Structure 1
Amino acid sequence: MQKKGLLVVSFGTSHLNTLEKTIVKIEEKLSETFPGYVLYRAFTSKMIIRILKERDGMEIFTVAQALKQMAEDGISEVIVQPTHILHGVENDRMIEDIRTKAQEFVSIKVGNPLLSSTEDYRKAVEEVAEEMDTGSAEKALIFMGHGTSHYTNSSYAALEYVFRDKGYEHVYVGTVEAYPSLETILPRLKAKGYKGVCLAPFMVVSGDHAANDMAGEEDSWKEMLLQEGFEVECILKGLGEYKGIQEIFAEHAKAAIRL
């Protein structure tokens, strides 16, 4: 009888409160979806792995380490499900690590990140819109994405387009490290005459970027918008907290098995 394992791969977070609310909840959803599989966790950020070990005594595997452990534990059939938003740099590195270990297993299936098909965008938009106030003529909702140098960065512009296509005309999507930035969104906000803005992360976890770059007291989106005369509200809720988003990851893992 083949022993089955489920490896959930996340970028990671050093914020333990959001770890429990987001990554752990996605892992629990996946475990519930695959009850016969042994659950393993890996982070792709070695910096976060180091912080958690030095500060909290937590041992988190890299992808290569997790797969090595799974092989040693006698796992022969593997599902790998990333909690990444895009097929970006972190996902590419994960896939490369999987390739180096694939020969150690009878089968290894890899699920897609959150935004991988047109239907994924539509589902993600609807799930988020169901739980968030999507704005009004008085108040815009701006999501902060991470942004990437990878070509998949265009996904953020596509995401805003889908919000518009679904009728959410007061929702904007920017990134903290790429295009579109808040500076590119500001003229559009002013042209629309909004008085207020709500900021929320379009990231699996509400971690450093949300707490500091989005809602911090210095050099943050919140401060920039306040200086421009907007009333600002911040919602520190990662996508991993949304049950509908957890479900999309579970569906991607199920789809990987069928390939």
Structure 2
Amino acid sequence: MNMKRIIAAVSALVLTSCAYSCGTETKDSTAEKATEAATTAEVTTTEENTTEAETTTEAEEEEDEENYETGDASLDNVRNQDEIGDNEILVVSFGTSFNDSRRLTIGAIEDAVEKAFPDYSVRRGFTANIVIDHVNRRDGILIDDIDAALKRAVDNNVKNLVVQPTHLMNGIEYDEITSKVANYSDAFEKVVIGEPLLTSDDDFKRVETAITDWTKEYDDGETAICFMGHGTEADSNAVYQKMQDLLANDGFKNYYVGTVEAEPSLDDVIAKVKEGGYKKVVLEPLMVVAGDHANNDMAGDEEDSWKSAFEAEGFEVKCLLRGLGENENIRTLYTEHTQKAIDSLK
């Protein structure tokens, strides 16, 4: 409650008290009520201000408790420059506040796209405002959200806009991207949205090859190689089971896919690994970045992390903290999806 509201509240009470005093109360009692009202209003205001301060402090404390090093944010190209030109490729990602991973994954994909399409300016947009705000508060670096990135394209008079998501699947977030882009579509002569990573059967096959080649040094017959995906309540969650089935059918019997928030679950994966009689476990994120989920839900020391859960079952565990964006074959697949989108403009 601000001071104007306090004054208004006190004035109203004074007027009401005066009207009532014409009957039974004295001017002294009226003054006393007004004083009490002002005191109450001041206490309420103090409490509200204290609550706001506590909320701000809690957010700052959460960031202070970030007792791990995420890397130098200044090394990452946030790609929010103007002077874009007629042609733009907007690479849209969920985002991560882990600076090194952001540069080595999302940044590497953007670099690969820029190299493949020199006639286009490559810019960045994140869909996770919580990530954007966190990086901005902690590092003083502002990354465009998708609305800001699209508005930047409009303000720069971009004619041909290609939006390439780095998302794993065509799910809820991909639908949100298409919806937001549709709101700006009349501002461009041509606009198209590229496909996410796992779209066609060929995509699945090539991602399977990429991740099995990447981890073949651990494929020694007694090690289970487990990939942790995010998971979603949407129908698109089926991509994880599809990848699991593909791995099994292609003879990768010691490869397992699970999710943090859906099915297959961690319990499902542990059961399969135990059934296989393996002694060691390698954990790796099936995510574009190695951010909060990879560092905490997968490799963290909390008892509910994947690492801790497997260790509790007696397995020797090794965690590979690298996102799919660090894999050259994955980056190539993204650039090919971008090429397909550009070809559709012709």
Q: Give per-residue Cα distances to partners, 1:190-215, cap 9 Å, x unaligned.
A: 11111111000000000100100000
Task: Note if 1:255 corresponds to 2:343.
Answer: no
CA contact (8 A) 1:136 1:170 kept: no
Alpha-carbon shift at residue 189 of structure 1 (Å): 1.3
Which residue number in structure 1 is paired with residue 311 of structure 2? 226
CA contact (8 A) 2:254 2:276 kept: no
Task: Note if 1:170 corresponds to 2:254.
Answer: yes
CA contact (8 A) 1:146 1:203 kept: yes
Kindly report the root-mean-square deviation, in angstroms, between the aligned alpha carbons of the 2 structures: 1.1
Higher mean displacement: 135-144 or 98-107: 135-144
Task: Note if 1:65 corresponds to 2:144.
Answer: no
Q: 1:193 aligns with which of 256, 270, 277?
A: 277
Q: Secondary structure at the match of 1:226?
A: helix
Unmatched segments (≥5 aa) in structure 1: none
Which residue number in structure 2 is paired with residue 114 of structure 1? 197
Which residue number in structure 2 is paired with residue 80 of structure 1? 163
Q: Indicate the structure (1 or 2) with the bigger Cα radius of gyration.
A: 2
The code of the aligned residue for 1:132 comes to T
Higher mean displacement: 123-132 or 113-122: 123-132
With structure 2 as the length reference, what TM-score do the two structures score? 0.73
CA contact (8 A) 1:147 1:175 kept: yes
CA contact (8 A) 2:223 2:281 kept: yes
Alpha-carbon shift at residue 92 of structure 1 (Å): 1.0
- Structure 1 runs of 4+ aligned residues shifted over 6 Å read none
The code of the aligned residue for 1:4 comes to N
CA contact (8 A) 2:101 2:290 kept: yes
Report the count of equivalent residues: 258
Alpha-carbon shift at residue 123 of structure 1 (Å): 0.5
Identity %: 40
More helix by share: 2
The code of the aligned residue for 2:155 comes to E
Alpha-carbon shift at residue 82 of structure 1 (Å): 0.5
Q: Secondary structure at the match of 1:78?
A: strand
Task: Note if 1:142 corresponds to 2:226.
Answer: yes
Which residue number in structure 2 is paired with residue 98 of structure 1? 181
CA contact (8 A) 1:10 1:82 kept: yes
Alpha-carbon shift at residue 141 of structure 1 (Å): 0.1
Q: Secondary structure at the match of 2:270?
A: helix
**Higher RCO (CA-CA < 8 Å; seq separation 6+):** 1
